[in-house]
Amino acid sequence: MTKRDPHRPFISVRFAVLTVSDTRTVADDRSGDTLASLIEGEGHSLAVRAIVPDDRAKIADTVMDWVKSGIADVVLTTGGTGFTGRDVTPDALEPLFDKRMDGFSVVFHRLSYEKIGTSTIQSRATAGLIGSTFVFVLPGSPGACRDAWEGVLKPQFDYGHRPCNFVEIMPRLDEHLKRGK
């Protein structure tokens, strides 16, 4: 079972939050607000936050700009994971993944099922690595963002989380780039 090692120091991680929506603005971006509050509430850094429309190129360009600039260790997107015509966030980002994180979707859906039942299948939540940057593609509801944070992201971005966590492997994430593909 997992536990927290109180002897391990806190290490702040830099997060970027991208809301994908044709209708949201800074004034009513509840999912982005939720993520920003949770990130900063744990003592992590919110490096950048933006809103882009449901457009594959704009989503991919924004995330790649952040990855290339090194502004954040983790990118969280919220919105655009459904099945309607404008829901294109996974389609924009999965082709950019150097490595997929299939376990994230499995665990997220398990947690989500406990709260909303079979409605969880209407989300294409996904995750992966682009270079050495973690990218998580979350649904556009504050509840789903909170569930993903509390159930997966918070413990994995806590250096004290045992038996293992993402923070302790972050220094080695670009090994595949040094060796070549």
Residue 83: which CATH number? 3.40.980.10
Tokens representing 23 are 């209708």
Question: Does some domain include residue 85?
Answer: yes
3 falls within a domain: no
CA distances (Å), origin 18, targets 103, 137, 173: 22, 9, 22
Is residue 109, in this structure, part of any structural domain at all? Answer: yes
Q: Give the model's confidence band at 175: pLDDT under 50 very low, under 70 low, under 90 confident, else very high.
A: confident
Q: Determine, yes or no, domain membership for 12.
A: no
Overall average pLDDT of the 18-35 stretch: 96
Question: Phi then psi for 107, rounded to 5 degrees?
Answer: -70, -40
21 pLDDT higher than 80: yes
Output the pLDDT for position 33. Answer: 98
pTM of the model: 0.95
Asked which of 28-37, 74-83, 168-177 is least confident by mean pLDDT, the reply is 168-177
**Residue-range definition of the domain harbouring residue 155:** 23-172
In a domain, 179, yes or no: no
Given a cut of 80, is residue 5 above it in pLDDT? yes
Neighbours of 71 (CB within 10 A): 15
* Token reading at 44: 């992590």
In the chain, the percentage of residues whose pLDDT exceeds 70 is 96
pLDDT digits (tens, 9 = 90+) for 54-78: 999 999 999 999 999 999 999 999 9
pLDDT at residue 180 is higher than 60: no
The residue type found at 90 is P
Amino acid 173: pLDDT: 86
Average pLDDT over residues 108-127: 97
Let me know if residue 17 belongs to a domain.
no
- Interval 87-107 mean pLDDT: 97
**Structural domain includes residue 8:** no
DSSP assignment, residue 140? S
Q: Total domain count for the chain?
A: 1
Is residue 155 in a domain?
A: yes
Local structure of 9: helix, strand or coil: coil
